[in-house]
């Protein structure tokens, strides 16, 4: 089975240096792009490949790039931002790529920057990824030394600088426009769209923001072509995908598998099934801001379209398993506490709605809940839903709650009626 993204990553956890990466065939994509392709060719190739953004929303990458204005009167500089602010609870796929093979990302960024004719690129890195920061800085220095970065890369007209910026540590910085504000030194508050970053982004200039995993693909697609990429997937969406599993399974971790691999196969075959003594109740498939997938739905294919069909989202494809010995109300409260804390405070439903949700869930969990809270919680799932809020933060927070209220209704009622959490000893 082909593992383009992770196949070269060494088991002992030492990142590939530039020589090792070159030996493994890296930077040939950069050579091809700079010597043989026009920027528009690169964009078209990525469009043909059908690469969907790996940050969670699945937006077609080539299409996003094509929104960057071209021509002589384009405001300069144009920026490429790599979103490495991986703070989605349960997600650790980007970290794996950053720590294991930093040059794969750098090569991808050079190709992407060339495609959109960006002259500056930033890697916006999660504050806690200290190890990745050291690795990235070293790799970037290597790339400069070898002439892959800086002025007139490989003798071409194209120049690019890449900077690493470590975030101050707010979840909302992963929202692409809040990321831009944060990078500018402003409060990390999302921006209204339109205008989209591709027309007015970082410092008011055209900007493309891509996820780490997305950018890691670019060089591979250039080297191997669109058809190769498409054929990697099982169900129409191309490529492989980094699937993550956490929770009480035997082998939690990251698995690179063809896009569209069945969830049950990932959980049972690759992650080794549940730890002895635990039974699976549900899965949140792609980070905390996706809806529960229940045991009976485990045969769903893990791709953007299929998961949508069962009422959930693929998100980051890093699954968290809820087992039968964990209280689902406490599980949800934990999630919502996180989202309430991480609200930026800009728009009303999110700023005021999420803490209220959190308080109600805590009350229920602690045995002080009232039945009318369930109604209020249900109301909040639409009140804080898409379109009503300024950005996707609160709607994302409502996804697990919405399905949780439905799937775990009996558990909620037990908390309320028994006035304590059935998973805790009654003392």
Partner 1 sequence: MKNIVPGGRMIKIEINGKYYEVKAEKNLLEVSLSLGINIPHFCYHAALGSVGACRLCAVKKYRNASDTKGRLIMSCMEPVTEGLILRTEESDVIKFRAAVLESLMINHPHDCPVCDEGGECHLQDMTVMTGHNYRSYNFKKRTYTNQNLGPFIHHEMNRCIQCYRCVRFYKEYAGGKDFDVFASHDHVYFGRHEDGILDSEFSGNLVEVCPTGVFTDKTLKSHFTRKWDLTNAPSVCVHCSVGCNTIAGERYGILRRIMSRYNGSVNGYFLCDRGRFGYEFVNHENRLKKVKIRLSKNENPVVAENDQLQVSLNSALSDNKRIIGIGSPRASLEANYALMNLVGTENFYHGISKSDYELTKTALHILQNGPAHSPSLKEIENADVVFILGEDLTQTAPMIALAVRQAARNIPLQAGEKTGIPRWHDAAQRDRTQDIKSPIFVANPYQTKLDELSREPYHASINEIAKLGFAVAAQINDNATSVKDVDTRQYMLASEIAVALKNAKNPVIISGIHCGNKEMLHAAANIAFALEALQIKSSLCLVVPESNSMGLGMIGGKSLEDAYRRIEQGEADTLVILENDLYRRAEKEIVDEVFQKCKHVIVLDHLMNDTASKADILIPVGSFAESEGTIVSNEGRAQRYYKVFPSEKSVPESWRMIGEMIKIVRDQIDHPWKNFDQVAKEMGDDIPEFSVIHQKMPGNGFRILNEKITRQPLRFSGRTANSAHIAVNEPKLPQDHDSPLAFSMEGSNEVPPSSLVPFYWTPGWNSAQSINFYLDEPNGSMKGGDPGIRLIEANKNAKVSFFEPDITDIEQKPGEFWIIPVYRIFGSEELSSKAKAVAERIPEPYVLMNEKDIAGSDKNENGSANINISGKEIFVKIKIDPDIPLGIAGLTVNLPGMPFLNLPCSGKIKFASGNSNNQKPGRP
Cα(45)–Cα(36) distance, integer angstroms: 13
Q: What are phi and psi of 395, to 5 degrees?
A: -55, -40
46: its two tokens: 């990525």
In this structure, are residues 320 and 247 in contact, taking their beta carbons and an 8 Å threshold?
yes
191 lies in the site for partner 1, by CB under 8 A: yes
Q: Which is nearer to partner 1, 7 or 204 (CB)?
A: 204
348 lies in the site for partner 1, by CB under 8 A: yes
What is the x/- site pattern for partner 1, positions 11-50, by CB under 8 A? Answer: ----------------------------------------
Stretch that binds partner 1, among 57-65, 233-241, 278-286, 380-388 (CB under 8 A): 380-388
Closest approach, Cβ 347 to partner 1, in A, equals 5
Closest approach, Cβ 225 to partner 1, in A, equals 36
Q: Which is nearer to partner 1, 386 or 422 (CB)?
A: 386
Q: Residue from 78, 136, 340, 416 that binds partner 1 (CB under 8 A)?
A: 340
Alpha-carbon Rg for the chain, nearest whole angstrom, is 22
- Give the sheet arrangement for strand 253-258, strand by strand: 253-258, 240-246, 318-323, 280-284, 293-294
59 lies in the site for partner 1, by CB under 8 A: no
Q: Residue from 199, 235, 275, 326 that binds partner 1 (CB under 8 A)?
A: 199
127 lies in the site for partner 1, by CB under 8 A: no
Closest approach, Cβ 187 to partner 1, in A, equals 7
334 lies in the site for partner 1, by CB under 8 A: no
- Count of residues of this chain found to bind partner 1 when the rule CB under 8 A is applied: 38
- What distances in angstroms separate CA 371 from CA 300, 328, 366, 367, 375, one per listed residue? 33, 17, 14, 11, 7
Closest approach, Cβ 25 to partner 1, in A, equals 41
119 lies in the site for partner 1, by CB under 8 A: no
200 lies in the site for partner 1, by CB under 8 A: yes
Closest approach, Cβ 390 to partner 1, in A, equals 6
Q: Which is nearer to partner 1, 73 or 157 (CB)?
A: 73
Q: Residue from 76, 131, 187, 250 that binds partner 1 (CB under 8 A)?
A: 187
Stretch that binds partner 1, among 81-89, 155-163, 214-222, 388-396 (CB under 8 A): 388-396
Residues that bind partner 1 (CB under 8 A): 170, 180-181, 187, 191-192, 194-195, 199-200, 203-204, 340-349, 351-356, 359, 363, 372, 376, 379, 383, 387-390
């Amino acid at each position: 089975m082909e593992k383009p993204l992770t196949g070269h990553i060494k088991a002992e956890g030492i990142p590939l240096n530039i020589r090792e990466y070159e030996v493994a065939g890296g930077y040939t994509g950069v050579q091809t792009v700079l010597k043989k392709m026009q920027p528009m060719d690169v964009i078209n190739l990525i469009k043909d490949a059908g690469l969907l953004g790996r940050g969670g929303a699945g937006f077609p990458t080539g299409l996003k790039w094509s929104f960057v204005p071209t021509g002589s009167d384009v405001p300069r500089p144009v920026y490429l931002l790599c979103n490495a602010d991986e703070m989605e609870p349960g997600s650790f796929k980007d970290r794996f790529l950053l720590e294991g093979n930093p040059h794969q990302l750098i090569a991808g960024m050079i190709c992407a920057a060339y495609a959109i004719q960006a002259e500056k690129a930033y890697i916006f890195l999660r504050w806690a990824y200290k190890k990745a920061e050291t690795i990235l800085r070293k790799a970037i220095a290597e790339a400069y030394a070898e002439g892959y970065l800086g002025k007139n890369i490989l003798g071409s007209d194209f120049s690019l600088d890449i900077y690493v910026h470590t975030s101050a540590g707010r979840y909302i910085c992963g929202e692409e426009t809040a990321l831009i504000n944060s990078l500018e030194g402003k409060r990390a508050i999302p921006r209204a769209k339109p205008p989209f970053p591709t027309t007015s982004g970082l410092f008011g200039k055209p900007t493309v923001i891509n996820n780490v995993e997305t950018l890691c693909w670019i060089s591979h697609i250039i080297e191997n072509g669109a058809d190769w990429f498409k054929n990697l997937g099982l169900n129409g969406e191309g490529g492989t995908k980094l699937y993550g599993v956490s929770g009480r399974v035997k082998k939690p971790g990251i698995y690179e598998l063809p896009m569209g691999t069945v969830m049950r196969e990932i959980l049972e075959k690759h992650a080794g099934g549940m730890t002895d003594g635990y039974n699976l109740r549900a899965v949140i498939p792609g980070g905390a801001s996706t809806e529960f997938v229940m045991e009976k739905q485990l045969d769903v294919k893990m791709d953007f379209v299929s998961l949508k069909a069962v009422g959930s989202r693929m998100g980051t494809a890093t699954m968290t398993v809820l087992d039968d010995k964990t209280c689902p109300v406490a599980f949800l409260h934990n999630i919502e506490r996180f989202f309430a804390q991480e609200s930026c405070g800009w728009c009303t439903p999110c700023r005021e709605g999420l803490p209220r949700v959190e308080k109600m869930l805590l009350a229920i969990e602690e045995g002080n809940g009232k039945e009318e809270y369930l109604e209020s919680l249900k109301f909040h799932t639409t009140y804080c839903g898409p379109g009503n809020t300024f950005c996707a933060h609160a709607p994302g927070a409502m996804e697990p709650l919405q399905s949780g209220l439905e799937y775990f209704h009996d558990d909620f009622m037990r908390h309320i009626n028994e006035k304590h959490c059935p998973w805790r000893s009654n003392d």
